[in-house]
Structure 1
Amino acid sequence: MLDAPDPSSDDVLPEPRPLAPRSMTLTAAMLGTATLLAVLVLLPTPYAVNSPGPTRDVLGELDGTPMIQVSGAETFDSTGELRLTTVSSTGGPGYPTSILGALTGWFEASSVVLPVEQVYPPDVSQEQLDESNEAEMVSSQEDATVAALTELGYEVPATLLVAGTVEGTDAEGKLEENDVLVAFDGTPLPDYQTLVDDLADVEPGQTVTLTVRRHGQPVDVPVVTTEREGGGAQIGVLIDPTFDMPVDVTISIDDIGGPSAGTMFALGIVDKLTAADEADGEHIAGTGTMDVTGEVGPIGGIRQKLAGARRDGAAWFLAPAANCDEVVGHVPDGLRVVRVATLHEAREAMEAIGAGEAGDLPTCTADAGTASPSEG
Structure 2
Amino acid sequence: MSDRAEPRVGPDAAPHEPLGPARPGRFATASLTTVFLLVIVAAGLTFVGLPYVVLSPGPATNVLGSVDGKPVLTVEGAQTYPTEGALDFTTVSFDGGPGRTVTVYELLEAWVRDDVEAASEDLYFPPEATEDQIEAENAEMMNDSQVVAAATALRALGTDVPTSVAIADVPAGGPAEGRIEPGDVLVSVDGEKASDTGAVRAAVQARSPGEDVSVRLRRDGEEQTVTVPTVDTGGRAVIGVLLRTQYDLPVQVTLNTGRVGGPSAGLMFSLAIYDSLTPGSLTGGERVAGTGTILDDGSVGPISGIRQKMVGAHEAGARYFLSPEGDCADAVGHVPDGMELFKVTSFDDARVAVEAIATGEVAGLPRCG
Q: Which interval holds the TM-score relative to the shorter structure?
A: 0.7 to 0.9
Deviation at 1:216, TM superposition (A): 4.7
**1:66 corresponds to which residue?**
71
The 1:29–1:311 alpha-carbon spacing in structure 2 relative to 1, beyond 3 Å, is same
CA distance in 2, matches of 1:246, 1:179: 19
Deviation by residue 1:108-147 (Cα, 9 ceiling, x = unmatched):
1111122323333221111111111111111111111111
Q: 1:352 aligns with which of 349, 356, 359?
A: 356
CA distance in 2, matches of 1:179, 1:24: 77
Deviation at 1:163, TM superposition (A): 7.0
| Superposed counterparts of 1:282-321, under 5 Å | 282-321=286-325
CA distance in 2, matches of 1:126, 1:213: 33
CA distance in 2, matches of 1:322, 1:274: 29
Contact 1:278–1:355 (CA under 8 A) maintained in structure 2: no
SS at match of 2:303: coil
| Superposed counterparts of 1:1-376, under 5 Å | 20-22=23-25, 25=29, 28-29=32-33, 32-33=36-37, 35-36=39-40, 38-44=42-48, 45-161=50-166, 180-181=186-187, 216=223, 239-365=243-369
Contact 1:80–1:282 (CA under 8 A) maintained in structure 2: yes
Instruction: Give the AA of the match of 1:135.
Output: E
The 1:133–1:19 alpha-carbon spacing in structure 2 relative to 1, beyond 3 Å, is farther
CA distance in 2, matches of 1:118, 1:161: 28
CA distance in 1, matches of 2:41, 2:286: 48
TM superposition score normalised by structure 1:
0.72
CA distance in 1, matches of 2:185, 2:253: 28
- The gaps in structure 2 that reach 5 residues or longer are 1-19, 171-175, 201-205, 207-214, 226-240
Deviation at 1:305, TM superposition (A): 1.3
Stretch deviating more after TM superposition (22-31 or 125-134)? 22-31
Deviation at 1:260, TM superposition (A): 0.4
Contact 1:49–1:101 (CA under 8 A) maintained in structure 2: yes
CA distance in 2, matches of 1:123, 1:164: 19
Deviation by residue 1:46-69 (Cα, 9 ceiling, x = unmatched):
332111111111111111110000
CA distance in 2, matches of 1:101, 1:340: 33
Instruction: Give the AA of the match of 1:21.
Output: P
SS at match of 1:250: strand
For this pair of structures, how many residues does the alignment match?
A: 311
Contact 1:182–1:213 (CA under 8 A) maintained in structure 2: yes
Contact 2:161–2:249 (CA under 8 A) maintained in structure 1: yes
RMSD: 3.6
- The gaps in structure 1 that reach 5 residues or longer are 1-16, 166-171, 200-204, 206-210, 219-236, 366-376
Deviation at 1:286, TM superposition (A): 0.5
TM superposition score normalised by structure 2:
0.73
Q: What is the aligned-residue identity percentage? A: 38
Contact 1:316–1:336 (CA under 8 A) maintained in structure 2: yes
